[in-house]
Amino acid sequence: MKSILRGGNRVLISKSTNVYTNLALERYLAENIKHQPKTRLLLLWRNQPCVVVGRYQNPFAESDIKYLSEKQIDLARRYSGGGTCYHDLGNLNVTIVTTREDYNRKKNLHWIVNTLNEAFNLTLHVTDRDDIFLDTFKVTGSASRLERLYAYHHFTLLINSYLNDLRRSLKSEDQMKITSKATSSVRSSVLNLADRNNSITYEKTIALLIEKFFQWNNEKTTTSCDYIDPLLYYEHIKDFENELKSQKFLYQVTPPFVYTIEHEKQPIEISVSNGIITDIKGNDSIIDKKNFLGQLFHGVYHNIQKLNKT
Amino acid sequence: THSARTISIDSLPGSVYRFNRRLHTSPVFFDSVDVIAPPFPESVKEGTIRLLKKVGDKVAVDEAIAEIETDKANLSINAPAAGTIEAYLVVDSDNVTSGVHVAKLNTSIDVKPVSESKTDAPTGEVKTKSGQSTDPTASISLNELSPPAGALRDTSAPQKPVAHPIKTYATIDPHKVTGTRLETRVKMSRMRLKISERLKEAQNTCAMLTTFNEIDMSNAVEFRKKYADQFLKRHNIKLGFMSAFVKASACALTDSPIVNAVIDGNEIVYRDYVDISVAVASPKGLVVPVIRNVEQMNYADIERAINEYGEKAKKGTLPIEDMDGGTFTISNGGVFGSLFGTPIINLPQSAILGMHGIFDRPVAINGKMEIRPMMYVALTYDHRIIDGRDAVLFLRKIKQYVEDSRTMFLDI
């Protein structure tokens, strides 16, 4: 078996369904593989139920944090920007890694659309926001990261996800309460591919993508396709994985925001920066500032909710 | 203007020099580098800038200092050189266009002037340059910097201590023992730190023990002598003993898959391929590249692979992925004349074969004493997954395959 970090046109399928492991693996491969010009790496992965927010988003504005912890749905922040998405085993993650010069998101999306339309008799199209829609429903969301020497474009593909769980997880009561310059998601109605053609399964889709990927890159054989067990590379990816799991990265890299609640018709504005409450404006008699100033916002979130009474 | 330096010579033995440096301005020494955002991909015009560092932070070359988020693509802005962030010319979360001037980077080696530059701020000059001494003796690190007389000392910026103990300048050669009863402290290199870390890790993880055996090299020596020229003529490389041992190990590993396996958590991972790590000398020290799929190679393939790695190692062009992985390691102490010894396991593997020197020894063959070229071999193995019996039988298989290479064809 050749080295895992060699370049060339390759397909790797992750054996892990842990979102933190997979995100760490994605970054490790993108940063360390010797990318050759005019070649692509296709990484295929899926996760146990989780919500993934973009690098500069506010998790409280994008999802129902309380519901996530109740249902033990993981919350993760990825390194690339963009909006929030819900993953479960019915949602395929695809990452295409290339050299910086070869980065071309439209080409990737058009390849996917053509491949799926032809094989499954669908009518997918690419929008100008670089989403893939089936009629008026969104089936794919994209995000990219460009570094000096390499770039990656990753996107999700709703095959047969639990859409009710998706909607419930991404519903945020706090959206209205938060003012900030964080990236906000653009919401759309979603649809599973399997809802339109019930012969589509996860297994069929990845088999199709692997075969067509090598054709697309003018490779004669499909031998450069491997399953990768991220645990075997634990030493290499553990720093990324620990960062992704850390409270600091999940909550404290959120761009500064102001969280406004109402207590008996009086507004209270809580300013949060780097995850820490830096200022509270409001009637001093209602809120005991000592208990909140300097605290981590996500740590005292429940107490803040209790104050929010009209 | 010139930099003012005060040289005071101590009467301590060893003649220690202490430098006092003053700040000066001079247009010749310009260490400020502009960091500009690259063009945005996909002809996007605007983006949001996110600052990842603060003014005064020290950054390494290529470290990310900011990111620009365009519609779903994140563009990393990296430091073009190592230095300190002098100023950001944009505000966090601002909208920016491509080609925007993001920051100013101070790339001078001396960190202190950044804080001292703040004392110049009242004069209205944003750009300050630090003095670069052209005196060759200034290559000795500064013991202590004192700010210009009368200037305010800015203690707000955190600084790394520059002080070195005076002992460092005592002139003794760490490699010589001259009896002057002095010590020299030399910081461990990164490579040495990494090596010591990995060695301890292996010791702390595996239940390591070693089993020994000896190999009668007469047949191998004769075989090599007989076919050396023909081999060299056809393959243009020398036929050594490593190929015999590498191939013998591969056959033995195919026969005993547990030695080729490794523990991961609470599972044993069996591999259906044999990748053998072979130690090769390089100018930087010993490196261990991996020969992949040895089970499919013959002696010529193996010698060629070792030769290629040797060349690359000499040139220093051995890529890091060639040293990654491996299911088994062979270490050859024999080149230095070692008789006997216990190698240490190369994680994450489960066993390592140590070859030693070939020395003529009297041995008993069929009741008679004969002088044979003998080599002691050692197998250090992880007892967590390899039992004593397996280890001993495995080593005996290697012995068999080296003593009589024809047995590899018999699959016995």
Contacts of B324 in chain A (CB under 8 A): 3-5
Same domain, residue pair A234 and A302: no
User: Which tens digits make up the pLDDT trace of B392-410?
Assistant: 999 999 999 999 999 999 9
Rounded to an integer, what is the distance from CA A8 to the centroid of its chain? 26
Tell me the C-alpha distance between A55 and A253, whole Å: 8
Q: pLDDT by residue (tens digit) across B251-285? A: 999 999 999 999 988 899 999 999 999 987 777 76
Query: pLDDT by residue (tens digit) across B338-387?
Result: 999 999 998 889 999 999 999 999 999 999 999 999 999 999 999 999 99
Query: Where does chain A have alpha helices with state H?
Result: 19-32, 59-62, 65-70, 105-120, 163-169, 193-196, 202-216, 234-245, 247, 301-307
Lowest mean pLDDT among A96-110, A146-160, A281-295, B80-94: A281-295
The pLDDT of residue B25 is above 60: no
**Pick from B408, B411, B371: nearest CA to B243:** B408
Pairing of strands B267-269, B328-332: unpaired
Asked if A51 and A68 count as a contact pair (C-beta separation under 8 A), the reply is yes
Residue A271 has pLDDT above 70, yes or no: yes
Instruction: Report pLDDT for A166.
Output: 93
Note whether B215 and B374 are within 8 A (CB): yes
Q: Find, in chain A, the residue whose alpha carbon is nearest to that of B66.
A: A147
Asked if residue B371 lies in contact with residue B362, where contact means CB atoms within 8 angstroms, the answer is yes
Q: What is the pLDDT of residues A127-185, one digit of tens each?
A: 988 889 998 999 998 999 999 889 999 999 999 999 999 999 999 988 889 998 888 88
Judge if A51 and A76 occupy the same domain.
yes
The domain tally of chain A equals 2
**Alpha-carbon distance A145 to nearest alpha carbon in chain B (angstroms):** 5
Q: How far is B136 from chain A (nearest CA, A)?
A: 36
Residue B50 to residue A3, Cβ atoms within 8 A: no
Do residues A282 and A193 share a domain? no
Which of A6, A148, A255 lies at the smallest CB-CB distance from B93?
Answer: A255
What is the SS3 string spanning B32-93? EEEEECCCCHHHCCEEEEEECCCCCCEECCCCEEEEEECCCEEEEEECCCCEEEEEECCCCC
The pLDDT, as a whole number, for residue B72 is 63
Give me the interface pTM, i.e. the ipTM: 0.79
Q: Helix, strand or coil for residue A55?
A: coil
Q: Domain containing A68 — which CATH number?
A: 3.30.930.10
Q: From A203, A233, A251, give the residue that closes a domain.
A: A251
- Do A145 and B74 lie within an 8 Å CB cutoff? yes
- In a mutagenesis test of the B interface, which of A55, A183, A188, A228 is the best target, namely the one with the most B β-carbons within 10 Å? A183
Are A113 and A170 within one domain?
A: yes
Count the neighbouring beta carbons within 10 Å of the beta carbon of residue B28. Answer: 8
Q: Residues A284, A218: one domain? A: no
Q: Which residues of A touch B48 (CB under 8 A)?
A: 56, 181, 183
Q: B-chain residues within 8 Å CB-CB of A145?
A: 73-74, 76
> Beta partners for B66?
B51, B77
Structure confidence at residue B112 as a pLDDT band (50, 70, 90): very low
Asked whether residue B120 carries a pLDDT value surpassing 50, the answer given is no
**In which element (H, E) is residue B307 found?**
helix B299-315
Going by pLDDT thresholds of 50, 70 and 90, the confidence category of residue B30 is: low
Nearest neighbour of A146 by CB, restricted to B76, B320, B322: B76
Strand B328-332 vs strand B280-282: parallel, antiparallel, or unpaired?
Answer: unpaired
| Residue A47 sits in the same domain as residue A188 | yes
Domains of chain B: 32-106 (2.40.50.100), 195-410 (3.30.559.10)
Partner residue facing A105 (CB), from B42, B48, B348: B42
**Catalytic choice (B387, B390, B404, B411):** B387
Evaluate whether A16 touches A230 at the Cβ level (below 8 Å).
yes
pLDDT score of A59: 94
| A269 and A178 housed in the same domain | no
Which of A1, A81, A148 is the closest to B73 by Cβ? Answer: A81
Cβ contacts of B264 on chain A, cutoff 8 Å: 231-232
Amino acid (one-letter) located at A184: S
Domain boundary among A204, A219, A251: A251
Give me the domain span that covers residue A271. Answer: 257-308
B150: left (phi over 0), alpha (psi -120 to 50) or beta: left
Residues of chain A contacting B77 with CB distance shorter than 8 Å: none
Residue A129 has its nearest CB partner, among B62, B71, B292, at B71
Cis peptide before B41 (omega within 30 of 0): no
Task: Report the range of poorest mean pLDDT among A29-38, A193-202, A248-257, B320-329.
Answer: B320-329
The pLDDT value given to residue B268:
92
Is residue A276 domain-shared with residue A160, that is, in the same domain?
no
Q: Tell me which residue in B72, B265, B319 faces A144 most closely, judged by beta carbons.
A: B72
Among candidates B301, B327, B17, which has minimal Cα distance to B144? B17
Q: Tokens 């620009």 label which residue?
A: B68
- List b or e across B233-262, with b for residues whose CB sees 16 or more CB atoms inside 10 angstroms: eeeebebbbbbbbbbbbbbbbbebebbbbb
Mean pLDDT over each residue of chain A, to the nearest integer: 90
- Checking if the pLDDT of B161 tops 50, the result is no
Please list every residue in chain A whose beta carbon sits closer than 8 Å to the beta carbon of residue B71: 129-130
How much is the pLDDT for B108? 72
Q: Is the pLDDT of residue B77 over 80?
A: yes
Q: Do B73 and A105 touch (CB under 8 A)?
A: yes
A113 and A151: one domain?
yes
- Tell me: pLDDT of B172 over 70: no
Do residues A292 and A153 both lie within one domain?
Answer: no
Find the CB nearest A56 among B50, B76, B292.
Answer: B50
Catalytic residue among B120, B383, B390, B404: B383
Lowest mean pLDDT among A20-29, A233-242, B136-145, B231-240: B136-145
CA angle B362, B363, B367 (to 5 degrees): 125
Q: Can you read off the two tokens belonging to residue A84? A: 């929030």
Rounded CA separation B27/B32 (Å): 11
Structural domain ending residue among the three candidates A251, A268, A291: A251
Distance from CA of A280 to the nearest CA of B (A): 22
Q: Band the pLDDT of B35: cuts 50, 70, 90.
A: confident
Min distance A73 CA to chain B CA atoms (Å): 24
Average pLDDT over chain B reads 77
Top mean-pLDDT range of A296-310, B220-234, B274-288? B220-234
pLDDT band with cut points at 50, 70 and 90 for residue B171: low
**Beta-carbon pairs below 8 A across chains A and B:** 84
Provide the residue count of chain B.
412
Cβ partners under 8 Å of residue B43, min gap 6: none
Determine the distance in angstroms separating the CA of B43 from the nearest CA of chain A, rounded to an integer.
Answer: 11
Chain A residues bordering chain B (beta-carbon distance below 8 Å): 1-6, 34, 55-56, 79-83, 103, 105-106, 129-130, 142-148, 151, 181, 183, 231-232, 235, 255-256
| Ramachandran category for residue B265: left, alpha or beta (phi over 0 → left; psi -120 to 50 → alpha) | left
User: Which region among A81-95, A289-303, B224-238 has the lowest average model confidence (pLDDT)?
Assistant: A289-303
Distance CA B409, CA A141 (A): 57
Q: Report how far apart, in Å, the C-alpha atoms of A165 and of each of A49, A68, A87, A90, A226 are.
A: 9, 10, 10, 12, 32
Kindly report, residue by residue over A175-195, the tens digit of the pLDDT. Answer: 889 998 888 888 889 999 999
pLDDT tens, position by position, A188-241: 899 999 999 999 999 999 999 999 999 999 988 888 888 998 888 888 899 999
Q: Is B110 an active-site residue?
A: no
A148–B325 C-beta distance less than 8 A: no
Q: Tell if the CB–CB gap between A81 and B69 is shorter than 8 Å.
A: yes
pLDDT at B175 over 80: no
**Reported confidence tier of residue B110, pLDDT bands at 50, 70, 90:** low
Token couple for B142: 């500064």
Closest CA to A250 of A30, A87, A48, A76: A76
Q: Most A CBs within 10 Å: which of B74, B78, B288, B347, as the mutation test of the A interface? A: B74
- What is the rounded distance in angstroms from the CA atom of residue B174 to the CA atom of residue B167? 13
Mark whether B383 is an active-site residue: yes
Nearest residue of B to residue A54, measured between CA atoms: B72
Residue B230: other Cβ atoms inside 10 A: 10
Looking at the fold, whether A93 and A179 belong to one and the same domain comes out as yes
How large is the average pLDDT for residues A243-250?
A: 93
Residue with tokens 């989403």: A131
Is the CB of residue B14 less than 8 Å from the CB of residue B169?
Answer: yes
Do residue A224 and residue A274 come from a single domain?
no
The answer on pLDDT for A275 being more than 80 is yes
pLDDT digits (tens, 9 = 90+) for A23-69: 999 999 999 998 899 999 999 999 999 999 999 999 999 999 999 99
